[in-house]
Amino acid sequence: MSTVRFLRTFVAVAEHGSFAAAAAQVALTQAAVSLQMRALETELRRELFDRNGRVAVLNADGRALLPQARKLLALYDEMRLPLASAEAMAGAVAVGAVVSVMGGLSHAVARMKRTYPALDVRLVGAKSIELAAQVEAGELDAAILVEGAARVPGTLRWTPLYQEPLVAIAARGSPGRDAREALAANPYLRFDRSQRTGVLVERALRRAHLKVNEFLELNAIEALVELVRQEVGVTVVPLLRRARWRDDDALRVLPLLVNGEPVMRQIGMLERRDHGRGQVTAAVRAACSELFGA
């Protein structure tokens, strides 16, 4: 299973930004990480990094491979778990989720409970920062939330599930042909900057040098989109997996690009490594991946 090990190292390099930082994460020397990445490139028959001296950064092929590698590793980790028995899929488990995920998660859990009636899943809705703290404190077994910028503590496990691109949402009749023009010509409805998604949006706007006309700030994606429908202004939010905004005659979904690339919000599951309910949380992950089309 050398390819799986190489992919795990590749993801570590992508997440930590260098061969040296990844080496500490995967318990290898920097030279061994470099050799593994050369071997992976040989096996895949394409280069994954732009190398300049001691610096190596993901190139376009490497960025394209990253979400595929994460999915394959998550699937492999699930394959290594014992097959779930009725006894293993019983008892109480507490799972948290951000608001944008809660609706789909509720449907997934409801289907699981029909299959495993002895399973008692308690769902908790909160912001990503609050959910992460509750998982770390042991108050939740797992949570589906927005990936943060900080490293995940060694006591926790992060499993990516799917990504959502940031987009500008404008009213059908509002001025502006693209995201840049729409943001410059309309009042800006901002997502809460104290939250992970708000920080991601703010960084994207700065990196793209986009000017906005500040109007209001809310911590609710659907509420912001509803204000856009009412022609109050324009907003920048993640394109939610289950949203039907592209089919809404009152809205325009405008791509938001930074240096020609979309900015992605990563949704995943955070859980304690020692919570003892691995089969249940693996089943929740699998159900959410299927539901959200990951």
Structure confidence by residue, pLDDT tens digits, 30-44 = 888 889 999 999 999
- One-letter amino acid at 227 equals L
Domains, in order of start, for the chain: 2-79 (1.10.10.10), 91-160+267-291 (3.40.190.10), 163-265 (3.40.190.290)
Distance CA 34, CA 255 (A): 36
73 burial (CB, 10 Å; 0-12 / 13-18 / 19+) is middle
Question: What separation in angstroms does the CA of 266 have from each of 149, 158, 163?
Answer: 11, 11, 5
Per-residue confidence at 116, pLDDT binned at 50, 70, 90? Answer: confident
> Which range among 51-65, 69-83, 244-258 shows the weakest confidence by mean pLDDT?
69-83
| CB contact at 8 A, 175 and 181 | yes
Residues 70-90 have pLDDT tens digits of 888 777 766 665 545 545 667
Question: What separation in angstroms does the CA of 238 have from each of 168, 216, 289?
Answer: 9, 18, 18
pLDDT, mean of residues 249-263:
93
pLDDT, mean of residues 256-277:
87
Six-digit token string for 188:
């800006």
- The confidence score (pLDDT) of residue 115 equals 82
**Residue 106: closest CA among 77, 144, 78:** 144
Per the listing, tokens 């979904």 go with 253
- The confidence score (pLDDT) of residue 175 equals 94
- The confidence score (pLDDT) of residue 81 equals 54
Query: Which of helix, strand or coil describes residue 167?
Result: strand
Six-digit token string for 123:
């769902």
> Which range among 73-77, 98-102, 169-173, 236-240 shows the weakest confidence by mean pLDDT?
73-77
| Higher-confidence position of 73 and 128 | 128
Q: Residue 171: pLDDT above 90?
A: yes
